[in-house]
Amino acid sequence: MQDANARFPSIAKVLILRQFLWGAAFYGAYVLLTKFFLDELNYSEADTIMMMGAFGAVGPVFSAVGGFVADRFIGSFRAVYIGYTTYTIGFLILGFGASTLNVPLSIFAIALIGYARGLSATSPTVLLGNSYSETNREAFQQGLTVNYSINNLGSFASKYLFPFFIAYWAYQGNFFISSGLMAITLVLFVTFRKQFTAVGNDLDRRPVSMKTWGLFVIGSVAMLGLVFWIFSNLDEGKYLLYALGAGAILYFIFEITRASAVHKYKMCAVLVMIFIMITFYFYYGQMLTSMNIYAINLMSGELLGFIPIKPESNAAFNPLWCFVLGGPTIFVYNWLEKKGFSPSIPTKFAAAFVFSGIAFTLLGLSTHFVGENGKIAADWILWVHFFQSLAELIVGALGAGFIFEMVPRYLSAFAIGLRSVALSLSGILAAVISTKIALPKDQVLTPEIIENVYASYFFNLAAFAIVMAVITLMLSKVIAKLIKKSEDAEKGEGTGKPVSQM
């Protein structure tokens, strides 16, 4: 593309707008699901936590499959286009399920949404990366950060507003809004189809055979049925999610054995990074499970003493802080680089673990400040999210960017999907462990229960985060050595000498 060397190529701007619409649609519906299952579908706290964990995990774990399909069969743009069409239909059906309180229909709808997320999650990053030239990679990293911030803006707006909209349009109305927002993205895809095809992979610019489409349809039906089964059988489904995540990682290890020496070491570095990301995103998963249940049960309805807020809207604090802190974070990075200090991505993850430790320490302390109304001030949750969001923003999309730069291009979409696999495995682990704080329906929250159930859980998480910060610093040295070996191997190939002779 002619402007591929610009700071923001034209198609990158369209992709960033798409990210805003997707963030508003997806997270607006997501924030309502916990209370929807608790209050409308009469799920227990434990089952609701597992449902939210599975919903958060299914899309990411299948994204590796979606990335593989995009890489090898249908192309990145087609994967996004088909996935977003499915999103639109899924939210529409979820609205009908909510209007009739139909449990199977509601589960089928979120299965469709999970399938859509799995198919389309990795390809937008590939399209964004391809919209920049090979000599414009620094701008690509900045574009990833802006894209991430815009996603958070859409997420914040919908997470805060959608719970208030329930009073006017009920749950189904909000789900219909999400469907409408996704429909707008489809208009963008049609309008800029040629430009999207140009930044897709080679398959996007070639026709797909009927045989391939037939296999794709059969595979999609099988995948959708599998997702529906997972949501309908949560106890057994979590083991399937573990197996799928492990399978994706094993396939990546298989590809390592086939790679050249240059890529072999880099891909091993990615493998170490995957472990770090699984552990870090375990804390991200807590925001949607244990932290959310805690806030719904104990958070007051006023922020800073005068701003009205619904307890389920506590999740809006995360994208709010991510959006607000995005610019300052970039400024700090630039300032550090000017001073000659450029921390590695694993080092940034170590710093993120420290901030997660602070966040969960504050969450544990908040249990000692329950007011006479039996609630804690929403300000506590606001500042907990400040530190957790800062941790998330420090690493942000860097994991995806690191993977994109480390793997061969023919594995780009699948490898980026490994970040989502990490998110999936950590999410289901977070849900399983979070069930330890699940309480029976209508349980009276006494000071003893708050102390023994919530406080001890959050303080233990805080301590583990600090331990992981130390481990991550140690692993950063391992990653640095692997990358150095890759660079040595590349020099050896350039001179025609074995690496051992260098």
Query: What's the whole-number average pLDDT of the chain?
Result: 85
- Among 60-69, 144-153, 270-279, 485-494, which is the least confidently predicted range? 485-494
Could you count the other beta carbons within 10 Å of the beta carbon of residue 123?
A: 31
Residue 500: is its pLDDT beyond 70?
Answer: no
Q: Over pLDDT 70: what percentage of the chain? A: 94
More confident site: 502 or 406: 406
Give pTM, 2 decimals.
Answer: 0.79
Which sequence spans correspond to the domains of the chain?
Answer: 10-501
* Token output for 233: 């059988």
Question: Architecture of domain 10-501 in CATH?
Answer: Up-down Bundle (1.20)
Task: Please report which confidence band the pLDDT of residue 212 belongs to, taking 50, 70 and 90 as the band edges.
Answer: very high
* Token output for 236: 């057994």
Average pLDDT over residues 243-267: 82
Rounded to whole angstroms, the Cα distance separating 260 from 135 reads: 23
Main-chain phi, psi angles of 434, to 5 degrees: -65, -20
* Token output for 373: 């109304």
More confident site: 245 or 154: 154
Cβ within 8 Å of residue 25, ≥6 positions away: 87, 91, 158, 177, 178, 179, 181, 182
pLDDT reported for residue 501: 38
pLDDT reported for residue 101: 93
Rounded to whole angstroms, the Cα distance separating 376 from 369 reads: 6
Could you count the other beta carbons within 10 Å of the beta carbon of residue 152?
A: 28
Number of H helices, E strands in the chain: 18, 2
Rounded to whole angstroms, the Cα distance separating 450 from 168 reads: 34
Task: Please report which confidence band the pLDDT of residue 328 belongs to, taking 50, 70 and 90 as the band edges.
Answer: confident
More confident site: 78 or 339: 78
pLDDT reported for residue 406: 74
- Among 138-147, 247-256, 372-381, which is the least confidently predicted range? 138-147
Residue 395: is its pLDDT beyond 80?
Answer: no
Average pLDDT over residues 191-206: 88
pLDDT reported for residue 401: 67
pLDDT reported for residue 3: 66
pLDDT reported for residue 502: 33
pLDDT reported for residue 84: 94
Average pLDDT over residues 116-130: 85
Residue 130: is its pLDDT beyond 50?
Answer: yes
Task: Please report which confidence band the pLDDT of residue 320 belongs to, taking 50, 70 and 90 as the band edges.
Answer: confident
pLDDT reported for residue 5: 64
Average pLDDT over residues 253-282: 83
Q: Over pLDDT 90: what percentage of the chain? A: 30
Q: Are the CB atoms for 478 and 272 separated by under 8 Å?
A: yes
Q: What is the DSSP letter of 308?
A: E
Average pLDDT over residues 421-429: 82
pLDDT reported for residue 127: 86
Task: Please report which confidence band the pLDDT of residue 430 belongs to, taking 50, 70 and 90 as the band edges.
Answer: confident
